[in-house]
Amino acid sequence: MNDQHRQAGTICYSIDEFRATDHAKANAHVGLYEIHYYPSSIQRPSWWSDIPGHTSHVRPLFGLKIVDLTRIIAAPSIVRDLAEMGASVMRITAPHVADLSQLQLDLGWGKWNAHLDLRIQEHRAQLENLIMDADVVIDGYRPDVLKKWGFGKNEILDLVKGREKGIIYAHENCYVSVIVWSLLPAMPTATRDGMGLGHAGQVGSRSVMRYVAV
């Protein structure tokens, strides 16, 4: 299902079954998040620019510019929280890329939205311009999906290396970072069941579902 139809499907493992998988063993050392620092001799750590009269304890992130390259549920919800705290968020999607558009009434709250087709060179140039003006880029796609268009982590760091300030690149991956399952199509319900949480929630009910296709 994952390889042929590009759908987020998974076996509904128990927690013990998941811990016995190669994926769980490879990611046993990984926490909820990882932070990697890439020092630069010309880009010193700094805050974003406050906007007088707007940046405050009510909207502490006002003035922070974010390029939101996310879709479906998990990653868009992260960026929505930043928008609610005042950040200026530009979410970029494309008409040909599958999404849960009906959820954007909630997950798109406080964001600007635009379509860019990265198969078109002119659109890639427009995304480069957005990133050059941004403080943060958040990538919610599978590893290396955006890299092929020139917008992976290393490509973005290289793009901004000559400017005065650096950039924060954040990558959300439902299956965690080490590449075993991380290249599979995913969404929160599939990864939850694949990692044993769905099974744990059903224990004691009449039956336990052993395969989930989302």
Shared domain check, 148 and 83? yes
| Residue 173 confidence (pLDDT) | 78
Range name among 6-10, 128-132, 143-147, 203-207 with the lowest pLDDT average? 203-207
Shared domain check, 183 and 95? no
What's 159's domain CATH number?
3.40.50.10540
Shared domain check, 110 and 191? no
Shared domain check, 199 and 165? no
| Residue 208 confidence (pLDDT) | 46
Name the domain count of the chain. Answer: 2
Structural domain including 166 reads 65-171
Half-sphere exposure of 198 (CA within 13 A, CB side): 20
State mean pLDDT over 161-175: 87
> Taking a C-beta distance cutoff of 8 angstroms, is the pair 69, 137 a contact?
yes
Tell me if residue 149 falls in helix, strand or coil. helix
pLDDT tens digits, one per residue of 87-115: 999 999 998 887 767 777 788 889 999 99
% of the chain surpassing 70 pLDDT: 76
How many angstroms separate the Cα of 163 from the Cα of each of 10, 67, 129, 133, 168? 43, 17, 13, 10, 14
Does residue 34 belong to any structural domain of this protein? no
Shared domain check, 209 and 146? no
Residue 205 pLDDT level (bands cut at 50, 70, 90): very low
Does residue 33 belong to any structural domain of this protein? no
Buried-exposed string 183-206: b where 16+ CB fall within 10 A, e elsewhere: ebbbbebbbbbbbbbbbeeeeeee
Does residue 60 belong to any structural domain of this protein? no
Does residue 155 belong to any structural domain of this protein? yes
Asked whether residue 3 carries a pLDDT value surpassing 70, the answer given is: no
Which residue type sits at 159?
L
pLDDT tens digits, one per residue of 6-58: 566 677 777 788 788 887 787 777 777 888 898 888 898 888 888 888 888 88
Torsion sign (Cα): 35, 37, 43, 46: positive
Torsion angle, CA of 193/195/198/204, rounded to 10 degrees? 130
Shared domain check, 18 and 110? no
DSSP state of 52: T
Does residue 41 belong to any structural domain of this protein? no
Shared domain check, 129 and 76? yes
Asked whether residue 180 carries a pLDDT value surpassing 90, the answer given is: no
- Quote the mean pLDDT of the chain: 81
Beta partners for 139?
Answer: 69, 171
Shared domain check, 166 and 79? yes
**Bigger pLDDT: 206 or 112?**
112
Nearest-angstrom CA–CA distance, 184 and 55: 40
Shared domain check, 141 and 181? no
Does residue 20 belong to any structural domain of this protein? yes
Does residue 42 belong to any structural domain of this protein? no
How many angstroms separate the Cα of 161 from the Cα of each of 27, 46, 56? 31, 15, 30
Shared domain check, 203 and 141? no
Range name among 38-42, 96-100, 154-158, 193-197 with the lowest pLDDT average? 193-197
Shared domain check, 193 and 166? no
Shared domain check, 69 and 165? yes
Does residue 35 belong to any structural domain of this protein? no
